[in-house]
Amino acid sequence: MNLSVSIQHRFAGFTLDASFETPNGVTALFGSSGSGKTTLVNAIAGLLRPDQARVQIGDRLLCDSDQGLCLPPHKRRIGYVFQEGRLFPHLTVRQNLRYGSWVSGRQRDQAGETRVVDMLGIGDLLDRRPGALSGGEKQRVAIGRALLSQPLLLLMDEPLAALDEARKAEILPYLERLRDETDIPILYVSHSVAEVARLATTVVLLGKGKMLKCGPTAQVMSDPALAPAIGLREAGSVLTATVTAHHADGLTELAAAGGQVFLPRIGVPAGGTVRLRIHANDVMLSLGRPGRISALNVLPGKVTSIRSGGGPGAMVQLKAGHDQILARVTKRSATLLGLEPGSEVFAIIKSVSVAQADIGARNQSMAKSDTTT
Partner 1 sequence: MDFLSPEEWTAVALSLRVAIWATLVALPLAIWVAFLLARRDFWGKQLLNGIVHLPLILPPVVTGYLLLLTFGRRAPVGAWLADTLGLVFAFRWTGAALAAGIMGFPLMVRAIRLALETVDPKLEQAAATLGAPRIWVFLTVTLPLILPGIIAGAILGFAKAMGEFGATITFVSNIPGQTQTLPSAIYAFLQVPGGEASALRLVAVSVVIAMAALIGSETLARRATKRVMGA
Ligand X SMILES: Nc1ncnc2c1ncn2[C@@H]1O[C@H](COP(=O)(O)OP(=O)(O)OP(=O)(O)O)[C@@H](O)[C@H]1O
Q: Which of residues 10-69 bind Mg ion (CB under 5 A)?
A: 38
- C-alpha to C-alpha distance for 138 and 187, rounded to whole angstroms: 21
Positions 310 through 329 that interact with its own copies (CB under 8 A):
310-313, 327-329
d(CA 15, CA 142): 29
Q: Binding to its own copies by residue 337, rule CB under 8 A?
A: yes
How many Cβ atoms from other residues are within 10 Å of residue 310's Cβ? 5
Using DSSP, state whether 45 is helix, strand or coil. Answer: helix
Query: Judged by CB, which is closer to its own copies: 39, or 201?
Result: 39
Q: What are phi and psi of 29, to 5 degrees?
A: -105, 120
Q: Which is nearer to partner 1, 145 or 279 (CB)?
A: 145
Candidate list 25, 31, 144, 267; residue touching its own copies; CB under 8 A: 31
Distance from CA of residue 324 to its chain's centroid?
19
296 sits near its own copies (criterion: CB under 8 A): yes
User: Which of these ranges, 23-31, 71-79, 180-188, 317-325, lies near partner 1 under the rule CB under 8 A?
Assistant: 71-79
Interface of this chain with Mg ion, residues 280 to 299, rule: CB under 5 A: none
CB of 1 to its own copies, least distance (A): 28
Element spanning 277, H or E: strand 273-279
Q: Which residue is nearest to ligand X (CB)?
A: 136
Q: What is the b/e burial string over 217-244, where b = at least 16 CB atoms within 10 angstroms of the residue's CB? A: bbebbbbbebbebbeeebbbbbbebbbe
Annotate each residue in 89-128 with x if it binds its own copies (CB under 8 A) or - if it does not, as one string: -----------------------------------x----
DSSP string, 191-247: S-HHHHHHH-SEEEEEETTEEEEEEEHHHHHT-GGGHHHH-GGG-EEEEEEEEEEE-
CB of 83 to Mg ion, least distance (A): 5
Does 129 contact partner 1 by CB under 8 A?
Answer: yes
Which of 34, 112, 135, 231 touches Mg ion (CB under 5 A)? 135
Contact positions vs ligand X (CB under 6 A): 11-12, 14, 31, 33-39, 83, 132-137
Q: Are 316 and 269 in contact (CB under 8 A)?
A: no
Select from 5-13, 131-139, 229-237, 261-269 the region that touches Mg ion (CB under 5 A). 131-139
Total residue count of the chain as it appears in this document: 373
Is residue 36 left, alpha or beta, with left meaning phi > 0 and alpha meaning psi from -120 to 50? Answer: left
Q: How far is the CB of 107 from partner 1 (least distance, A)?
A: 13
Footprint of partner 1 (CB under 8 A): 45-47, 72-74, 76-80, 82, 84, 86, 88-90, 99-100, 102-104, 106, 129-132, 145-146, 149
Footprint of Mg ion (CB under 5 A): 38, 83, 134-135
